[in-house]
Homo-oligomer: A and B are copies of this chain.
Amino acid sequence: MAEYVVPAPKRRRGRPRTGESDARDRIMAAAVEEFAEAGYDGATIRGIAARAGVDSALVHHHFGTKADLFGETIQAPMRPDLALPEILAGPRDRIGERIVRYILETWEQPEVRRRGVVLLRSAIGNKLTTPLLAGFLSRELLSRIARSLDTADADLRAALAASQIAGLLIARYVLRLPALAEASVDDLVDRIGPTIQRYLLG
């Protein structure tokens, strides 16, 4: 399993080991532990700071929000939560198309794809990692999409959209089903965009 577990933070090359980088490394190590034990929702910046023996303010200073710190610990290849406000702000009748295009254009970048595949394999193949990534997705992505929809069944709508996006990424980039792996981004946006649109707002 070693290949797919959450990676330990790497020391940056060429950077002299100072008190500051030492604290940074201790915070990262503490975050990996805290997320693994408490899950995404249960983990707190305060708890991570306590494990690292530093002040909460120093964690915020080095890493920003809990979502930012989580993104660092899993070496997140993309940060859909940061792109979300812009995607949600555009015309409502083309939101499905925008979501599919954003995801695919990001994953077409070789480095994003490489790390994204490792992350997907880890999140699904490893029982310990699964609830961690599901928690992050639910909290930082799906619940925000749901709030923007403002309908009674918004949580289910957001989860249905997530199921198609997850399935698309797995079928195209992990299973590499030939017809899907060979399709153009534009073709997939045309075919899958309306599905996401209908799930969210249909």
Using CB atoms and an 8 Å cutoff, list the residues of chain A in contact with chain B.
Answer: 1, 3-4, 120-127, 130-131, 133-134, 137-138, 142, 155-156, 158-160, 162-168, 170-172, 174-180, 183, 187, 191-192, 194-195, 198-199
Contacts and interface: CB of A to CB of B under 8 A. Distances in A.
7 contacts: A1-B1, A130-B174, A137-B175, A159-B178, A162-B167, A163-B168, A166-B171
A43 B39 CA distance: 42
Secondary structure of the A side of the interface?
helix
B199 A198 contact: no
Chain B CB count within 10 A is highest, among A121, A166, A168, for A166
A198 B194 contact: yes
B156 A163 contact: no
A187 B157 CA distance: 11
A194 B168 CA distance: 17
A176 B120 CA distance: 15
Nearest to A120: B124
A155 B179 contact: yes
A68 to B, nearest CB: 22
Contact of A165 (B127, B167, B176): B167
Contact of A179 (B158, B179, B180): B158
A175 B133 contact: yes
B159 A180 contact: yes
Closest 9 CB pairs of A and B: A125-B125, A167-B167, A163-B171, A155-B179, A163-B167, A156-B179, A159-B180, A134-B175, A159-B179
B160 A180 contact: yes
